[in-house]
Amino acid sequence: SADLDKIAIDILQANDLGGYTIPTKGLYPYQWNWDSAFVAQGFATFDVNRGWQEIETLLQGQWDDGMVPHILFRKDDPTYFPGPSVWGTQNRALPSSGHSQPPVAASTVRLLFEKDQSATYVERLRVVFPKLLAWHRWYHTARDFDGRGVIAVMHPWESGRDNLPDWDGPAARVDTSGVGDYVRKDTSFVNADMRPRKTDYDRYLAILQFGRECNWDAEKIARDAPFYVADPGVTFIQLRADRDLLALAHALGETAALPEIEEWIARAEQGIELLWNPDLGAFTTLDLRSGVHGEGVSSASFLAPYAGICKARYLEPTLAHFDRMMSKVTYGVPSYDPDHPAFESMRYWRGPVWGILNYMIATGFAEIGETERAERIRKDTVALIEKSGFAEYFDPISGEGAGGNSFSWTSAIWLNWAS
């Protein structure tokens, strides 16, 4: 509706701190990586230039090795923990966290460029393209150190799906004895039942300490980090982003870059088999330390079509899980299997519905002709936002909003896709 359009635009503008956008005031007072990629899509519905600017400010934080951090701390804000002083990333482009987040940005840039290909945007694409290429190369080396064709995360925060039940097993091996005392800030904004537990936070901080102590060295992380788990979420988003980057390379005539990107795509199309959990009939995480698959179906399992992975052998069982999980909730898509004992309808990535996942899943479904399922996802997203506003995430059973409110990426996907 026009009213919700206006509210969504107002939220993006209120969270715009001057060329970069925060996810929501209080809880997340800095620029977050994949948030900005979705925010740019929202801005671009009414201001293409401002969409580009969001990506450009995000890339200002890029490290020399190509990594684009998950948080950019442009100014210190004591309402967030862990802030810039905890990460040990001085001497970088900007104060930042030490690991990345799902690489959505190239997919966004392709959308923006398709909206307007006039000379000024060709020029801006020329500047942004090599930075995206370097970031993708970083993911394909630092986080796929042995060239298996699947992308690992060294921290649950790097996956963007912080407290997914599939991280519980691998993270349980993290030694938290050196973490010491700390004060969380998130639970002063949001009901603790909607957030990760203290055991999770202890592990988050222990992994962070490992990264800081090795100065975020990719090889040390790949070999020795206490947490190193291949993630279908990042792997599928990366594969989609590689295809989009390839299209941009063609558009620019960047022929030198083509073979490298094509190789990443080919490797992932093979490698993805590693994430297929044959017992479950779904794509899950794979702990690269223990060789053990995650034991639950998550909403990232449904990103295969978005990544262009649609062999019947994968697709049929995946869609069967989708239909089963959707039949258990009022509003989809639940982030974790409602039939699994770890499911919690309000706790962050252990069950709630996330608009950005819905957008990506539905986009992939629509592209392979699964229009009914795609439309159910879109309608559920609309119903949730109409009922509960632009919340961070939603309870799939009650439809209540959860986490932060006046949330940028929920507003952005409303404008770009749901409305």
| Residue numbers annotated as active site | 162, 392
Distance of CA 202 to the CA centre of its chain: 22
Pairing of strands 282-283, 71-72: unpaired
Close Cβ partners of 278 (under 8 Å, ≥ 6 residues apart) = none
Smallest distance, Å, CB 326 to ligand DGY? 26
Site size with ligand DGY, rule: CB under 6 A: 4
Pairing of strands 393-394, 401-402: antiparallel
Query: Binding mask 98-127 vs ligand DGY (x if CB under 6 A, - otherwise)?
Result: ------------------------------
Q: Using CB under 6 A, which residues numbered 169 to 208 contact ligand DGY? A: 186
Smallest distance, Å, CB 81 to ligand DGY? 8
Smallest distance, Å, CB 157 to ligand DGY? 4
Q: How many CB atoms lie within 10 A of CB 10?
A: 13
Q: For ligand DGY, give the closer residue by CB, 69 or 364.
A: 69
Smallest distance, Å, CB 184 to ligand DGY? 9
Q: Which helix (H) or strand (E) holds 283?
A: strand 282-283
Q: Record the tokens describing residue 250, joined without a space.
A: 């063609």
Smallest distance, Å, CB 410 to ligand DGY? 15
Q: Does 35 bind ligand DGY (CB under 6 A)?
A: no
* Residue 58 contacts residue 36 (beta carbons within 8 Å): yes
Smallest distance, Å, CB 120 to ligand DGY? 33
* Residue 127 contacts residue 100 (beta carbons within 8 Å): no
Close Cβ partners of 64 (under 8 Å, ≥ 6 residues apart) = none
The amino acid present at 133, given as its one-letter code, is L
Which residue, judged by CB position, is nearest to ligand DGY in the bound state?
157
Close Cβ partners of 328 (under 8 Å, ≥ 6 residues apart) = 334, 338, 339
Q: For ligand DGY, give the closer residue by CB, 121 or 139.
A: 139
Q: For ligand DGY, give the closer residue by CB, 157 or 394.
A: 157
Smallest distance, Å, CB 32 to ligand DGY? 6
Give the CA count within 13 Å in the CB-facing half-sphere of 288. Answer: 26
CA dist., res. 416 & res. 103, Å (int): 18
* 307 burial via Cβ count (<10 Å: 0-12, 13-18, 19+): buried
CA dist., res. 237 & res. 360, Å (int): 9
Q: For ligand DGY, give the closer residue by CB, 193 or 375.
A: 193
* Residue 62 contacts residue 134 (beta carbons within 8 Å): yes
Q: For ligand DGY, give the closer residue by CB, 101 or 176.
A: 101
Q: Does 157 bind ligand DGY (CB under 6 A)?
A: yes
* 238 burial via Cβ count (<10 Å: 0-12, 13-18, 19+): buried
Q: For ligand DGY, give the closer residue by CB, 159 or 176.
A: 159
Q: Does 162 bind ligand DGY (CB under 6 A)?
A: yes
What are the angstrom distances between the C-alpha of 228 and each of 146, 147, 264, 339?
Answer: 13, 14, 20, 27
Q: For ligand DGY, give the closer residue by CB, 68 or 246.
A: 68
* 118 burial via Cβ count (<10 Å: 0-12, 13-18, 19+): exposed
Q: Using CB under 6 A, which residues numbered 72 to 101 contact ligand DGY? A: none
Query: Binding mask 53-72 vs ligand DGY (x if CB under 6 A, - otherwise)?
Result: -----------------x--
Q: Where on the chain is the footprint of ligand DGY (CB under 6 A)? A: 70, 157, 162, 186
